Structure 1
Amino acid sequence: MAAAVKALNAKIRSNPVSDYLCSTHFWGPASNFGIPLAAVLDTQKDADIISGRMTLALAGYSAVFMRYSMMVTPKNYLLFGCHIVNFSAQMTQGYRYLKYWNFGGREASLEAQAKEGLGTVENKAKEALDKVKEQLPK
């Protein structure tokens, strides 16, 4: 049985493509792509749920691993791509965080919600008035 496993391993390692697909150089970044995918999807959510500390930590993490991916031998471009996507998404989230909490975004959001609520109240009042007018004798 050990000879069969050894032979299969030798066959896999003899082909450069299958050797790469069976290595940690491929599976590490491939499994890590969930982090940048989640970060990109989070850019569509409300800015009030962004954690500034976590955004900073993930941006630092990605910066470190972008450098690491270029320093290992052979260079791991898939890992670099994974972390540049994550770093970009974290920088976007950082911008959204600062804009919301430090540069008036929260106030603008609350003002827009208040105007929307006022418009809803006005519409409901007009509907109620119309119903009352319909019930009045003519």
Structure 2
Amino acid sequence: MTRHHVVDTAINAGCFANLVTALNVASLAEGLKAEGPFTVFAPTDEAFSKLPLGTVKALLENIPDLIKVLTYHVILDQKITAAEIGKTHSVTTSEGSTLTINTSDGVKVNDSNVVTPDVEADNGVFHIIDTVLIPESLGSI
């Protein structure tokens, strides 16, 4: 039986080329193929295009900052579904910072909207978001 981990699921969706490239450049893709479970807040290519011009290129050339940004989108050892997201107000990322969850009008993670929740993978779940999440430690990018 073929396993579809969160990275394969993102590749197959076809709208995460920037995310998949970033995961590979930062050598994080293999880690997300592990047993899990993982929860990933996955920004689309459109979300990456909303970043200021040159930001993606700069991140791809600065691996420590790229790793901070990517791990800020991942919750380790938990599979948090949309139903469970509504029961919490924050989650701690693998980067070490906290994401704020607001469910008063849809589901927001910090300033990003969850546009498609609960995309299932064998080792977790991801929620498609419309804005790249930037940890406060990096300031405004």
Q: TM-score, normalised by structure 2?
A: 0.19
Considering fraction of residues, name the structure with more strand: 2
Considering fraction of residues, name the structure with more helix: 1
Q: TM-score, normalised by structure 1?
A: 0.19
